Amino acid sequence: MFVGVIDDGFIEKRKTIAVVHLHIGLEPKWYLGAFQNLLYSLIELIEEHVESKARVIEIIKSISKLLNFEQQIVLETYDKEYQKVRKQHEEQKKIIEQQVAQVSETLSQFSTQTNDFMNQLNLQSAEMLSIASQNVEVAKLMSAEASISKEKLSQELQLINNIEASTLNINERVKELKKASDQVHSIISIITSVAEQTNLLALNAAIESARAGEYGKGFSVVAGEVRKLAEETKKSIGNISTLIESIKSQIENVTISIGDVTELTKESSKEITNMDSFFDKILQAADENKHHSDRTKIELTQTSEIIQQVTNLMEQIAISSDDLKELSQRFNTN
């Protein structure tokens, strides 16, 4: 500083000092304070070693000009760098704000669409559960009538063992939105299969009732009701399947296989040779139908639980979206 040479190298070195001050967080007031202390120290040394007051004043003016010039270079460079950094920060802040707003808007739209879907699905699920409950009651009635008729022929007929139904429990539950959607889709496939099997059993029961003549009239009516409920079940399932396909396009294609749930029927007995075999088959069909109906009701209950979990998840997403918007607004304010 005091060698008497002020060139480009001198100026560049001071600019470098200003940049370093900005990066290490040294505020201008500390820099100015240090220079002020340096000036005071230099004045004391000058007054101590120079006797001429005029010379002292001349030297102090020269030193002050030199120090002021250096401070001007450093502070101007500091201010330019500070404005540059601030501009970059504002640009980054604006980009972050736009991205946060975009994400928040996307979450809000997705939450709204999914909530609408879940409301429709809840209505369909309630209707399906009502149909399943009616199916259970019809199955109970059918089983009761078959038991009464078989009791009347208990001296002539021989009991046969009811076929055993094997079921495979659902092993996984919904942990996230896309997995829940796949599970609902699989369960609907299962219910469709059950409805078709129920329809087939009702048809077989109607055929057997027709063969039984007067004895089978009551079963024919019951079988018709079962078939009607099975058709209503398939129709409702079709509506739910359409709703699921519309929302599934917004969810990642993650397939969680639940697998086939049932192997429930055995081969039918050979030709009916007497009334005993007829009532055995009617009772067997009634028991199987009740089993299918009970299981359908269980599956629908589990589906309702999954739907409720998804609904809760959507509510959490909506809350998170609102929180994100609020944070974005605060960030913009700051």
For residue range 64-119, list pLDDT tens digits in order: 677 666 767 767 776 777 677 777 767 776 776 666 666 666 666 666 666 666 66
For the residues 165-177, what does the mean pLDDT come to? Answer: 43
Q: What is the C-alpha to C-alpha distance for residues 310 and 120, in angstroms, rounded to an integer?
A: 13
pLDDT tens per residue across span 222-258: 656 666 666 666 666 666 666 666 656 555 544 444 3
- Say yes or no: 81 and 201 in one domain: no
- Say yes or no: 81 and 199 in one domain: no
C-alpha separations of 113 from 102, 116, 117, 243 in Å: 17, 5, 6, 12
Q: Is residue 292 part of a domain?
A: yes
Q: What is the C-alpha to C-alpha distance for residues 106 and 230, in angstroms, rounded to an integer?
A: 40
pLDDT tens per residue across span 179-211: 666 666 677 677 667 666 766 666 676 666 666
pLDDT at site 16:
76
Q: Is residue 56 part of a domain?
A: yes
Q: How many domains does the chain have?
A: 2
Q: Is residue 137 part of a domain?
A: yes
118-122, 161-165, 245-249, 281-285: the lowest-pLDDT one = 161-165
pLDDT at site 305:
72
Q: Is residue 183 part of a domain?
A: yes
Q: Is residue 281 part of a domain?
A: yes
pLDDT band at 306 (very low <50, low <70, confident <90, very high): confident
Domain CATH for 60: 1.10.490.10
Q: What are the CB-based long-range contacts (under 8 Å, 24+) for 264-269?
A: 264/163, 264/165, 264/166, 264/167, 264/197, 264/288, 264/291, 264/292, 265/163, 265/197, 266/163, 268/204
* Cβ atoms within 10 Å, residue 323: 11
pLDDT at site 52:
77
Coil, strand or helix at 51: coil
Q: What count of Cα atoms within 13 Å lies in the side-chain half-sphere of residue 204?
A: 21
Host domain of residue 220: 115-330
pLDDT at site 99:
67
- Say yes or no: 135 and 159 in one domain: yes
